[in-house]
Structure formats: C-alpha cells, structure tokens
Amino acid sequence: MMTMFFRAVALVVLSSAVTAQAQQALVDERQDGFNEMGAALKTLRDEYKSGSPKPDEIKTALATISTLSENIAGWFPEGSGPDAGLKTDAREYIWKNREKFDRITQELIEDSKALAAQADSGDIAGVGKQLRALRNHCSSCHDSYRVD
Ligand code: HEC
C-alpha cells in the first residue's frame, strides 16, 4: 500500500518536472522570437535613419514582425509565467487581464500586415511615417505585461 503511494507521488513529481522543462523551453522560444522582432525593428529604424531605406530590407523586416506577431498568443499559455517558477520577464498579470493583452497583439498583427502590404506596393516613404505607431504596440504591451 505504502509502496504504491510513494510510486504515485514519484510519478506526480516526475511529470511536473517534465512540464516545467517544456514550459521553460517555450519561454526560450518566445524570447528568441521577440529578439528577432527587436532586431527587425532596429533594422527599420536604422534604414530610415540612413536617409535612403533599402526597400528589400524594409519588406523583410516587416514580414518578420507580422509573421512572428501571429505567434504571440500561442507563446503564452496558462502556467508559463513567473508563478510557475519559470525564468521569465512576463508578468503574471497577462493571465489576469488577457483581453487587453490579446487586443494589443491583434493591433500589432493588423498594423504590421498593413505596413508590409504598403511596402510591397512601393510606398516606402509612407511606411516610414508610421514606424512610431508600430513601435507603440510593442511598448504598450511591455509597459503592462513585461518586467522592465
Ligand atoms: C502583447 C504583448 C507584447 C507585444 C505586442 C510585444 N511584446 Fe515584446 N515581450 C512581451 C513579453 C511578455 C515579454 C517577456 C517574455 C519572457 O521573458 O518570457 C517580451 C519580451 C521582449 C523582448 C526581450 C526578449 C528576451 O530575450 O528576454 C524583446 C526584445 C521584445 N519583447 C521586443 C518586442 C518588439 C520589438 C515588439 C513589437 C514589434 C514586441 N516585443 C511586442 C510582450 C509583448
């Protein structure tokens, strides 16, 4: 009887360790994804600052941001925050006010897609005027949901 009890406990401990490992891998994946978005945003800034932005660079950077932003919702399942003992800069508040989190994500997806289309149509200068608005989606989420 006792043996069975200990076996059951061991199993529970083992499976939660596996889960924690999988969740930490997910945190690594989302941090890599965000770093890629950060690099793309920096490319956009640098290109426009140079005074002669290269259309291909602009298009690629916008494609990166719009593609990766579609992954954001899936990067934050329940139980992938600091309360689960994970090393993350995500605030637990994400899961307390998910609605706003998802709304900001949606705005980023829509705006980055629109800008990507605008760049594809050749209006590189017009895209440059909206970079600040694009970046605001990043910072408005970080202000509420990321430890600085
Ligand atoms: C809806 C919320 C949200 C949006 C939108 C968002 N981020 Fe983040 N970002 C986060 C959260 C939460 C973290 C912390 C992730 C973690 O540590 O697990 C993060 C982390 C980061 C990091 C640090 C990654 C690391 O190595 O720790 C960078 C860089 C970053 N974001 C860039 C961006 C850029 C650039 C954009 C816009 C193009 C953006 N983010 C949009 C929520 C968001």
Q: For residue 7, what pLDDT is reported?
A: 74
Give 92-118 pLDDT, tens digit per residue: 999 999 999 999 999 999 999 999 999
Separation of CA 8 and ligand 1 centre (Å): 39
| pLDDT above 70: residue 4 | yes
Kindly indicate the confidence band of residue 91, based on its pLDDT and cuts at 50, 70 and 90. Answer: very high
Inform me whether the pLDDT recorded for 9 exceeds 80. no
Give the pair of three-digit tokens for residue 125: 């200068």
Cα angle 72-74-80, degrees, rounded to a multiple of 5: 100
The neighbour count for residue 116, using CB atoms within 10 Å, is 21
**Residue 148 confidence (pLDDT) above 90:** no
Q: What is the tens place of the pLDDT at every residue in 111-135?
A: 999 999 999 999 999 999 999 999 9
Q: Which protein residues touch ligand 1 with a CB less than 6 Å away?
A: 27, 30-31, 34-35, 37-38, 41, 65, 72, 88-90, 101, 104-105, 108, 137-138, 141-142, 145-146
Q: Is the dihedral of CA 118, 110, 81, 132 positive or negative?
A: positive
What average pLDDT does the segment 44-60 reach? 98
Average pLDDT value for residue range 11-34: 84
> Which is more confident, 44 or 12?
44
Rounded Cα distance between 66 and 76, Å, is: 18
Which residue type sits at 47? E
How far apart (Å, rounded) are the C-alpha atoms in residues 7 and 141? Answer: 44
- Cα pseudo-dihedral 40, 46, 48, 49, rounded to 10: 160
Tokens matching residue 119: 């760049």
Supply the residue whose CA is at minimum distance from atom 12 of ligand 1. 90
Report the pLDDT averaged over residues 63-75: 98
